[in-house]
């Protein structure tokens, strides 16, 4: 098992900078999810690691092997890095079995390895003699994963492999892939534009914005304590409330009252504060003595209703409320909103 190290990796296409000074290390057997908007450079980063493109600055190493630097470029086929493309990139003229066998050297043990990785990827043996067009999208992705795993690569790269699948199938396939990778113990990098996918896939999550790796950490750290307001909103619904310094240094005063600051991202900046809370941290209570919000409207959405509230300072926020609670609410009702836990403080803009 070897670790992947990127040091100061930069890449431009023509005069257009795509990636700037990317640094990170990935420990053996771990999974990293890189999330970013379309055009952020995340797929380019994957292609640089795979060896499909050269880097302009920095270096990429796998264990003691230098893969890429501005003067060195180990070709893709000598890197021992598996790659699963967005649509699986199965060879259409080969059956699933032949696809999986493609990267294996000719030997008596080859068919045994095919069976082994097919089992690992939870592929029914009946599917192995079908052609890609005879398989469903989820099955194709599992064949693609089995094909990439078969030669026992040192690292596997997954380039938005679930994006073409519909919602239910995407969740099931993603879980199957995670289980397979966990069993195989293969170091993996996934790129995706879906923050939920990133947060559920990896041991760690990196957020790429406009070619910069803005934050890298565990999923809970990145979600609960984003480094910037922009990351906070990118990674999911975020409530941004005006705040003033509280009586206690680890708290702020907001329209919802005094709220603990669990992560301070103000870095000593003076002036006002903005507090970020996740909507799931709020609960709405009716029939309380000290209401601090008024219901503006609510929109039923299955198990939860999306309730729009106006706070005492006029700020409007949208909070998910269980449908059973929402059933007793009406516009103009006065309610009390409580905060569970603490928030993240940023300097005001």
Partner 1 sequence: MALAVLISIIAVGMLVPVGFIVSVGFDVGWSALAPLIFRPKVLELLTNTLLLVLIGVPICVVLGVGGAWLVERTTVPGRRVWAIVLAAPLAVPAFVSSYGWVSAIPSIGGLAGGVLIAVLAYYPLVYLPALATLRTLDPALEESARALGLSPFVVFVRVVLPQLWLAISGGALIVVLHLLAEYGAFALIRFDTFTTAIVAQFQSTFAGPAASALGVVLTGLCLVFLISEASTRGHRRYARVGSGAARPAPRASLGVFTVPALIALAGLAITALGVPGASLIHWLSRGQPWAQPELPGALGQTILFALGGAVATTLIALPVVWLSVRHSGRLSRVLEGAMYLASSLPTIIVALALVTVTLRLVPALYQTPATVIIAYVIVFLPRALVSMRSGLAQVPVELEQAAQSLGKSPFTSRMRVTFPLMAPSIGAAAALVGLGCANELTATLLLAPNGTRTLATQFWSVSSSAAYSNAAPYAVLLIALSIPAVTILFANTRKKLPT
CB of 131 to partner 1, least distance (A): 13
Binding residues for partner 1, rule: CB under 8 A, are: 50-52, 75-83, 85-87, 89, 91-93, 102-103, 144, 147-148, 150-151, 153, 157
Integer CA distances (angstroms), 1 to 4, 13, 77, in order: 10, 33, 19
CB of 89 to partner 1, least distance (A): 4
User: Which tokens sit at 202?
Assistant: 């990896």
- Closer residue to partner 1, CB minimum distance, 148 or 207: 148
- Closer residue to partner 1, CB minimum distance, 61 or 315: 61
User: Which tokens sit at 4?
Assistant: 């992947």
- Closer residue to partner 1, CB minimum distance, 79 or 278: 79
Integer CA distances (angstroms), 275 to 147, 262, 342, in order: 47, 10, 9
CB of 78 to partner 1, least distance (A): 8
DSSP assignment letter at 125: G
| Residue 42 CB-half CA count within 13 A | 28
Q: Which residues contact 142 (CB under 8 A, 6 or more apart)?
A: 121, 122, 123, 173, 176, 177, 180
CB of 132 to partner 1, least distance (A): 11
- Closer residue to partner 1, CB minimum distance, 147 or 195: 147
CB of 268 to partner 1, least distance (A): 47
- Closer residue to partner 1, CB minimum distance, 151 or 257: 151
Q: Which ranges of the chain would DSSP assign to H, the alpha helix?
A: 42-50, 96-101, 110-120, 137-149, 167-184, 195-201, 219-224, 229-234, 323-326
The 10 Å CB-count burial string (b at 16+, else e) for 100-119 is bbeebeeeeeeeebbebbbe
CB of 98 to partner 1, least distance (A): 10
- Closer residue to partner 1, CB minimum distance, 50 or 295: 50
């Amino acid at each position: 098992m070897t670790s992947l190290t990127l040091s100061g990796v930069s890449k431009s296409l023509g005069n257009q900078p795509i990636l700037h000074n990317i640094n990170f290390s990935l420990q053996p057997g771990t999974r990293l999810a890189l999330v970013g908007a379309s055009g952020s450079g995340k797929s380019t980063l994957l292609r640089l690691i795979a060896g499909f493109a050269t880097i302009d600055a920095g270096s990429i190493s796998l264990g003691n092997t230098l893969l890429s630097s501005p003067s060195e470029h180990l070709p893709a086929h000598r890197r021992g890095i598996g790659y699963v493309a967005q649509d699986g990139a199965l060879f259409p003229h080969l059956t699933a079995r032949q696809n999986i066998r493609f990267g294996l050297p000719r030997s008596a043990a080859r068919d045994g390895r095919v069976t082994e990785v097919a089992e690992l990827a939870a592929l029914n043996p009946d599917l192995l003699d079908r052609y890609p067009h005879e398989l469903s999208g989820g099955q194709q992705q599992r064949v693609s994963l089995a094909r990439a795993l078969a030669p026992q690569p040192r690292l596997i790269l997954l380039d938005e492999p679930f994006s073409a699948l519909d919602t239910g199938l995407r969740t099931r396939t993603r879980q199957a892939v995670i289980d397979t990778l966990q069993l195989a113990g293969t170091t993996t990098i996934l790129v995706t534009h879906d923050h939920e996918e990133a947060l559920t896939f990896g041991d760690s999550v990196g957020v790429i914005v406009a070619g910069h790796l803005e934050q890298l950490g565990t999923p809970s750290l990145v979600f609960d304590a984003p480094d910037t307001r922009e990351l906070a909103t990118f990674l999911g619904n975020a409530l941004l409330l005006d705040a003033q310094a509280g009586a206690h240094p680890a708290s702020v005063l907001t329209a919802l009252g005094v709220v603990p600051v669990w992560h301070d991202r103000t870095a000593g900046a003076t002036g006002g504060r903005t507090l970020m809370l996740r909507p799931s941290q709020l609960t709405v209570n009716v029939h309380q003595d000290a209401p601090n919000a008024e219901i503006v409207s609510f929109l039923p959405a299955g198990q939860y209703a999306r309730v729009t509230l106006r706070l005492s300072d006029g700020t409007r926020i949208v909070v998910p409320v269980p449908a059973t609670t929402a059933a007793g609410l009406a516009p103009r009702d006065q309610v009390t909103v409580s905060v569970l836990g603490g928030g993240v403080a940023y300097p005001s803009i």
